[in-house]
Amino acid sequence: MFGFWKAKTKPGLHHRNRHSIFLKLIGIFLLAGLLLNLLGFGFFRLGRSWQEENRLEDTVLFLLESAILRLGTPPDRALALQMKEQQDLAIAYSPDPEALVPDMNFRRQRGESPDSALDASNGAMHDASFNFLNPRSDFEEEDFYLNTGNVLDFHEGQLTARIRRPEGTFWIQYQFGGPDGNPWGILAFLITLSGVLLLAYSLMRRTLKPIKALMTGVQETSRGNLDYRIKLHRRDELGQLASLYNDMQGKIQSMLESRRQLLLDVSHEIRTPLTRMKLSLEFIPESRRTEALKEEIRLLDTMLTEVLENERLSSLHGALQPRYQSLEPMLQRCIQRFSVAGIRIEHSLEDVSASYDEARMAIAIQNLLENAVRHTDPQNRSISLDLQRDGDTAIITIQDNGTGIPEKEKDRIFEPFYRKAAKPSEKPIQESGSSAGFGLGLSLVHRIVESHGGTIQLESSTDHGSKFTIRIPLTRSRAE
C-alpha cells in the first residue's frame, strides 16, 4: 500500500551528457583564465603612459645610434658583418640621406628611371652601401613611407628601425623570437596547456564526484530501495548534502515501516472478531439471513487477506518462500474451488515446474479468476485457464468474455485501490462468491508476479473481454 513504484529512467542517463554541469564548470574555468589574462594585459598596457613609451623609444634609438657610431664614417662593412654574427644585429646602409627603404632611394619611389643622368653621380653612393639584413625583412609598414625621419617599429617579435644620419641612412633589424626563434616554443606551450587542463579536469572530477553519488542515491530511492546509503567522507557542502540524504532515507524508512506495522496490527485485530463471528454463526440455525452474514464475513476476510499480503510483500519480513515444484497441482486446486461454487473453468494445463511460493501464487491466480467471474455474465460465461512452457518460461493465461477494460484504463489497472469505472448502461453482475472489492486484487497480483521475477500483461477490449498473461522464469527467482 505504501510501497514505491519503479520509476522510469530516461534513456542515456548514464551516458556522457553534453549539458553536463562538469563540462560547464570546465568552460567557466577556461573562460575565467582567458579573461584574467586579457584584463592583466589590458591593465598593463593602460598602466604604461605615452610618456614612458616615448622615453623607451628614445632610449632604443640612442642605443642603436651608439651601435652606428661604432661603425665609423664611412661605416665599416667588416664591423657591420661582425655585429650580425656576434650580436645578431643586422644593419643595412645607404649614403642617400633621403632613402626610405633598403636599396630604394627617394627618386626611385617617385618612379624615376635608374638610367637617368644622375646615375653616374649616384654610382659612388651605391658602391658605399651594404645590406646584411634578413632577405625576408619587412620594411613595408606605412611609417617607413609616410614618415621621412627616424622610424622604430616592433612587430611579431622583430625590431626594425630606420635612422637618419649626416653620412646616410641606416636600417637595423633585430629578431627577438617568432617563427625564426625557438622551434620548440609552441610545443612546450601546448604541453604546458595540456597539463594545466588535465590537472583542472582531475580536480573538477574529484570535487564533483559526490553529485554522481547523489544521482545514484536518488535513483535507488525511486526504485524503493530505502536501505541505500551514500558513503562519503567530506566536510564541504556536497558532503553535508549526502549526509542529509542518508538521514532522509532513514526517516522515510522508519516512517513507512511504522505505518506498515500499524496496518498489520489493525488488520490482525479486525480478524479476531471476524473469527468469533464465524464461530457464533455455527450455533445459529441455517437460514437465508445466516447465509448472507457468512458471505459478508467471507468478503471482509478476503479484503483483509489482500491488505495483509500487500503489506507483507512490501515489508522487510515478507520475503517469498519459493520451492521448485510443478505448477499444475496448484492450478487444479484453484479450479476446484470454483467448481464447488458451480462455476466452470475451462483449462489446458501442461506439466511445468518452476521455483515459486505456492501460497502467494495461489492468491494471485485466485484473484484473477475472481476478477473474471465478477465481470462476466453468468448466462453466457466463458473463462479459460491455460498453462504451457515456452523455453525457460512458464506461461499462465486467464481469459474471459466479460465486459473488458477500456484502453485508457489499462495503464492504471494494477494500481492500488484503482477500480474500473462502470458505464451507466452496464448492469452490475452479482452472484454468490463474487464481490466488487476495493481495488487491491490486481495490485496484489502484480506484486506477487514481480516478486517471482515474472511479468503480467493485459490484453483487453470491451467487445471480447480480457486476457491476463503471466510469465514466470523456470529458474530460481530473485526472491530466493
Q: pLDDT by residue (tens digit) across 23-34?
A: 777 777 777 777
Q: pLDDT by residue (tens digit) across 242-262?
A: 888 888 888 888 887 787 777
Least confident of 286-290, 335-339, 421-425: 421-425
Q: pLDDT by residue (tens digit) across 109-122?
A: 333 444 443 444 44
In a domain, 15, yes or no: no
- Residue 7 DSSP one-character state: P
Whether pTM > 0.75 for this model: the answer is no
- Collect all residues with Cβ–Cβ distance below 8 Å to 272 and sequence separation of at least 6: none
In a domain, 6, yes or no: no
H or E stretch at 243:
helix 237-282
Query: Looking at the structure, do residues 133 and 244 belong to the same domain, yes or no?
Result: no
In a domain, 46, yes or no: yes
Query: Looking at the structure, do residues 189 and 256 belong to the same domain, yes or no?
Result: no
Query: Looking at the structure, do residues 247 and 296 belong to the same domain, yes or no?
Result: yes
In a domain, 7, yes or no: no
Q: Which domain holds residue 300?
A: 221-318
Query: Looking at the structure, do residues 335 and 364 belong to the same domain, yes or no?
Result: yes
Reply yes or no: is the peptide bond before residue 428 cis, omega within 30 of 0: no
Query: Looking at the structure, do residues 239 and 302 belong to the same domain, yes or no?
Result: yes
The span from the CA of 148 to the CA of 100, in Å, is 7
The span from the CA of 230 to the CA of 422, in Å, is 47
Query: Are residues 339 and 373 in contact, defined by beta-carbon separation less than 8 angstroms?
Result: no
Query: Which among 318, 344, 370 is the end of a domain?
Result: 318
In a domain, 443, yes or no: yes
Query: Looking at the structure, do residues 293 and 268 belong to the same domain, yes or no?
Result: yes
In a domain, 479, yes or no: no
Query: Looking at the structure, do residues 370 and 242 belong to the same domain, yes or no?
Result: no
> The CATH number of the domain where 262 resides is what?
1.10.287.130
pLDDT for res 471 = 94
The span from the CA of 391 to the CA of 165, in Å, is 104
Query: Looking at the structure, do residues 349 and 377 belong to the same domain, yes or no?
Result: yes
475 confidence band (pLDDT: 50, 70, 90): confident
Coil, strand, or helix at residue 382? coil
In a domain, 3, yes or no: no
Query: Which among 175, 199, 229 is the end of a domain?
Result: 175
pLDDT for res 421 = 54
Q: How many domains does the chain have?
A: 4
Q: What are phi and psi of 479, to 5 degrees?
A: -70, -25
In a domain, 140, yes or no: yes
Query: Looking at the structure, do residues 258 and 394 belong to the same domain, yes or no?
Result: no
